[in-house]
Chain A
């Protein structure tokens, strides 16, 4: 803390920063104190960030966060020891920084992977053993293959986080015919027999707050968030786009844009018919706006969600094809096949019976009278 105050950051400002960071990523306010304590100790969590087959969009989106800002994040809260885009060093120096960080924080650093790992060797076969990692073709950095470096860094990492759809499940590089054998971090490590838990933060690009939440929780409490079966944190990926969509009322009312630019499209109708993948895409785009600009996401600007977080959808299902709704509207709101309406009360039945009885009885008596009067009449005949 003293060290920071000499750099012009007051204790008050620093605690404010920690509170903002904790709030922004959904940690309790009490976490701010602990975060400050963890961050001001000499052992700020070390982060090693590897880039493979990707576009650096995830890093770019991380650079645009404001709460906390990336400068505050990497200078005050965590120690970003290796990041090809952000580090000043290059070449030999950079690689030395990597090995130094690994040696210094063995078993304690966090590995963040951005980009898919090419698994195919020059003959087009997938590498299946860690010993063959050097044989993988494509994407070499400092003379080592992506798989080699990932295995080496992952071995001593305290936690592994894959950011973006590429690192989570292969992303655009894994689209058919997948020439490089692109795989996500978890898949690549499992393929060579390394069974490590990987926190996946898919998205194209990933929402940086999902990374901040994960990393800051790990830095503060030493724990990882609860994950779903695909390794995605539940706090960010439990709900679908469809469930929190601002256009949902139009879906429920059956109002759909029929084509781009039509009246319904301009009126902000549901984009499902245009191919929206929101009903099966797990992400919180509408709640945590991308780039912190409300409305700056596909559905917000009038384009269907393209399912970037979902391996089964993005780059696989054509952009404007419709999909099944994962959790449809509650069945209770639909009419059943047979609707029973109205019952006949016992009282009504009784009254109706009584009325019929009176009529029948009256009729019988009337006919008997008639009979009698006719006989009387006959009697009068001479």
Chain B
């Protein structure tokens, strides 16, 4: 599915048309596709072995990193060569690990800001996919993402955006179910089933089952079920260890694009705002010119 010049031009015309037609008011809440896939990360089970980090690098053919002070393969953050990283969170007394990678939002900010459609949410799997053929390198996605996920390969002559795509290149069409569309290497190697792959609905059920089985072990909430409009990567945390302490942002229930797109599309409703602005500019110029003549 390579983006072509023709598609991009068509897309641009369609967007202009949509903007002209306009649609004011808040956008309705987006729902994940019924077959959406994702991952469930259980912070109480993670032992911080970093098998996921190693395997991710191997399966995505990402180069090894060297930190600023010379440490070999100790990435401190997501980057142009790291799609997945294990961080350590502390609440003062206890520690917990956090696996960071693309959350595959139900209503992603990165696809909302992408002017070309190089980042696009798969309508069936819900995976936020990247197509480097369309990317112009504006890095709006980097700025827009609430989880600070998309990264740019600054050091490359022809740079691109790097982010987790749920290992969709490892999908096996011969298999049925979620494995037919993707197969995250991190979930496959995790020794403790701290990160598991499946359909979002199945993972939500699994998360609820774990909480119901050991209510003393988990916070009763599942991060990503509603947060930021919902994500397809879900998190469980230990009881008393909040998601914010774990380093996950408190985004509220609504997706960022739901707000930003409402504002933006509201301004351009029926092309009213540009017309008004242009008219105001004309009046200003005319009045200024008038005084010049009278002098």
Contacts and interface: CB of A to CB of B under 8 A. Distances in A.
Contacts of B189: 254, 256, 258, 273
B53 A324 contact: no
Contacts of A272: 49, 191
Contacts of A337: 87-89, 98, 246-247
B76 interface: yes
B85 A335 contact: yes
A325 interface: yes
Given A334-B97, A337-B247, A328 B48 contact: yes
A339 B76 contact: yes
A251 interface: yes
B146 interface: no
A338 B50 CA distance: 18
A333 interface: yes
Contacts of A335: 74-77, 85-88
Interface string B58-91: 0000000000100000111100000001111110
A177 to B, nearest CB: 23
A338 B76 CA distance: 9
A328 B247 CA distance: 20
Interface string A310-354: 000000000000101100110101111111010000000000000
Interface size range on B against A = 20 to 34
Contact of B95 (A255, A331, A339): A331
Tell me what chain B mostly uses at the interface: helix, strand, loop, or mixed: mixed
B98 A255 contact: no
A331 B68 CA distance: 19
A253 interface: yes
A329 B77 contact: no
B49 A251 contact: yes
Contacts of B188: 258
Contacts of A255: 51, 54
A263 to B, nearest CB: 13
Given A253-B54, A256-B189, A335-B77, A324 B47 contact: yes
Interface in B1-50: 47-50
B192 interface: yes
B87 A341 contact: no
Interface of A: 251, 253-256, 258, 272-273, 279, 322, 324-325, 328-329, 331, 333-339, 341
9 contacts: A254-B51, A254-B54, A256-B49, A256-B189, A273-B189, A322-B191, A331-B90, A335-B76, A335-B86
Given A333-B74, A334-B88, A337-B246, 18 more contacts: A253-B54, A254-B49, A254-B53, A254-B54, A254-B55, A258-B188, A279-B47, A322-B191, A328-B47, A329-B48, A331-B95, A334-B48, A335-B77, A336-B87, A337-B87, A337-B88, A339-B76, A339-B77
